[in-house]
Amino acid sequence: MDVNVDTWKNESNTDEHGREIWEFEFSELKENVDFEIRDYGTIITVSPLHENIAAEFGLQNFINRLMETIETAHQKAIEKGLEIEVNGIPLRYRLSTLLKSERLKPIFKEINKIIDNSNISIKIYAGISDAKLIDAGWYIFCNERLILKADKSQITGWQEEIDGIKIPKSHYQFSRFRGYVYFDSDNANLLPWNTTKNGVDVESALFQSTKLEMINAMRPIIDFLNELDNEKDTESTALKNIVESAKSEKLSTITASEIFVYPKTPYLENKKPKETRISYTVPIEQFDIAKELLQAKSNKEVGEKTFSYYLKSMGQD
């Protein structure tokens, strides 16, 4: 199959919706031919390469990024046995996991739809994992190919309000959040990916309906992560202990659950913090007088002594 990219780009290759058509004809086609197993595979040759591109291909940093991108995008296929090598180095699949225990259970919901007489399977997993902000967010797959990685934007519902459910902007306290959506169908044209199959078609009705499911799944997990963050200001470590005692479980072994299961606040021994901070501004001249009268050595000591003096004057010492 020979494709002249410049010629192809200049031709009109769009469908009735204005989307590019990625269909090519074989220059030569042989059917029912037997090959040795070592000869199976696909070779893609690109020429001529721009000088800068050719130089980049030789950089180890580029090769490492390429391997990581392929491993991430095709993790499910590699997990099932697809063998991919880069410069003779076999790629490994990246295992997606969520934390699970008796008190902490992730969401797993499966939805089946029929569109244009074709079956579409939608699997939604959501829960928590390691506290790594770079890995937090939603992962979207179409026919086992990753098209959106660790997304924390409005595309997947962050910083949006739909049907009365409000999701905040992504923040470090949500760095444990992980969500996975798998769209699968024999009719790939029905899946919510763009024409180049490397991103989400946000206008897709299928994706829009699934997005509402994703937001519904996110809300209780966000609530839990807020409580986990608030716990830092209390004497309780109940939620922290529950998270640390939970085990990572791969998605394929997680059982169905419509809700995210976690201990509610009344179960915890939440107590008010023992200390709080007071901050206010005063004219520097008055502050210097107070500091001298109190014989204080620091601004902090001035604040502590004036607060103590006030309580004594009110008979609350």
Which domain-ending residue is among 38, 68, 90?
90
> How does pLDDT run across 298-317, given as a tens digit for each residue?
998 999 999 888 888 877 76
pLDDT of amino acid 68: 86
Q: How many residues does the chain have?
A: 317
Tell whether 292 is covered by a domain.
yes
**247 forms bridges with which residues in the sheet?**
100
In this structure, the answer to whether residues 121 and 257 fall within a common structural domain is yes
pLDDT of amino acid 25: 86
> How does pLDDT run across 55-80, given as a tens digit for each residue?
998 899 999 989 988 888 888 788 88
- The contacts of residue 22 (CB under 8 Å, 6+ apart) are 195, 196
> How does pLDDT run across 110-125, given as a tens digit for each residue?
999 999 899 999 999 9
The tokens for 251 are 């998605």
Measure the CA–CA gap between 284 and 290, rounded to whole angstroms.
10
> How does pLDDT run across 145-201, given as a tens digit for each residue?
889 999 999 999 999 988 889 999 999 999 999 999 999 999 999 999 988 888 999
Cβ 183 vs Cβ 122: under 8 Å: yes
Task: Report how far Cα 20 is from the mean position of its chain's Cα atoms.
Answer: 28
In this structure, the answer to whether residues 28 and 59 fall within a common structural domain is yes
Cβ 217 vs Cβ 168: under 8 Å: no
In this structure, the answer to whether residues 250 and 117 fall within a common structural domain is yes
The tokens for 66 are 């390429």
Measure the CA–CA gap between 225 and 262, rounded to whole angstroms.
10
CATH of the domain at 241: 3.30.230
Which domain-ending residue is among 57, 90, 123?
90
In this structure, the answer to whether residues 83 and 173 fall within a common structural domain is no
In this structure, the answer to whether residues 122 and 219 fall within a common structural domain is yes
In this structure, the answer to whether residues 127 and 259 fall within a common structural domain is yes
| Domain total of the chain | 3
Cβ 127 vs Cβ 166: under 8 Å: no
Tell whether 273 is covered by a domain.
no
In this structure, the answer to whether residues 111 and 54 fall within a common structural domain is no
- The contacts of residue 290 (CB under 8 Å, 6+ apart) are 282, 296, 302, 306
pLDDT of amino acid 119: 95
**122 forms bridges with which residues in the sheet?**
111, 183
Measure the CA–CA gap between 306 and 312, rounded to whole angstroms.
10
In this structure, the answer to whether residues 189 and 258 fall within a common structural domain is yes
For residue 46, the enclosing domain spans: 5-90
In this structure, the answer to whether residues 48 and 125 fall within a common structural domain is no
Cβ 147 vs Cβ 81: under 8 Å: no
In this structure, the answer to whether residues 110 and 175 fall within a common structural domain is yes
First-last CA distance in the chain:
88
Q: Per-residue pLDDT for 100 more than 50?
A: yes
Which domain-ending residue is among 90, 108, 124?
90
Measure the CA–CA gap between 129 and 136, rounded to whole angstroms.
8
Q: Where are the alpha helices (DSSP H) in the chain?
A: 5-10, 51-57, 60-73, 75-79, 205-230, 238-245, 284-294, 299-313
Tell whether 228 is covered by a domain.
yes
